[in-house]
Amino acid sequence: MLTHAQIWSALDRLAARSGLSASALAKRAGLDPTTFNRSKRITPDGRPRWPSTESVAKALTATGTTIDSFVGLITDNHGTATQAVPLIGLAEAGAGGFFDDGGFPTGKGWDEIAFPAVNDEHAYALEISGDSMMPAYRDGDVIIVSPGAPIRRGDRVVLKTKKDEVMVKELKRRTSKSIELQSINAEHPDRTLAVSDVMWIARVVWASQ
């Protein structure tokens, strides 16, 4: 018997396999961005809400997925270990309450995305909005950030300043006093920050392309 949890889990896996959040999958399918959100899966009076056949069909078409492959996602026959990764929009990440002082996700307001397991229990996902990081990242792309991963020169990183700026850049150089960052979009200037002005920095370990 097909269950409510199975069909929604399969849609989460479909989104993750395509490097998308649930909302980005809906947008790519030409649907309202909230169509597949977790908040839409239960009605206000507590009853399970199922995705429509039309919305599922549009999601399969948008990702080039066959019905047989989708059935495999429902029955979890693909054998890929997944974990629930906290997800928030990059534009929201600068607001207070989403990270602790070490850059680990905390507090309320996070959504979740099913994603192939990564070797960091504190990993989280950020959804890109807008085109300021083109051509590397497009609107709706998802990046996976690992606070526990070592960082080397040339890595793409997410950094938060004490002024609550959250930015995605490439690490050019880091010394005991400063951090030099290269912008991903050449139209935006590079940045050099004093170490004392940086709350935390974490490595981007995966990005949808």
* Residue recorded with tokens 């070592």: 150
Above 50 in pLDDT, residue 7? Answer: yes
Above 50 in pLDDT, residue 79? Answer: no
For residue range 33-76, what is the model confidence (pLDDT) as tens digits? 889 988 888 888 888 899 999 999 999 999 999 888 888 888 76
How many whole angstroms separate alpha carbon 164 and alpha carbon 81?
Answer: 34
**DSSP bridge pairs for 127:** 89, 142
Question: How many Cβ atoms sit within 10 Å of the Cβ of residue 82?
Answer: 17
In the chain, what are the helix, strand and coil shares in percent, each to the nearest 5?
25, 30, 45
For residue 99, the Cα-to-chain-centroid distance in whole angstroms is 15
Angle at 178 between CA 177 and CA 180, to 5 degrees: 160
Above 60 in pLDDT, residue 80? Answer: no
Helices (H) and strands (E) in the chain, counts: 4, 9
Strand order across the beta sheet in which 198-207 lies: 111-116, 82-89, 124-127, 142-146, 198-207, 156-161, 166-174, 178-182, 191-194
Q: What domains are defined for the chain?
A: 4-75 (1.10.260.40), 82-207 (2.10.109.10)
For residue range 102-158, what is the model confidence (pLDDT) as tens digits? 898 987 788 877 666 667 888 998 988 888 888 888 888 889 899 988 999 999 999
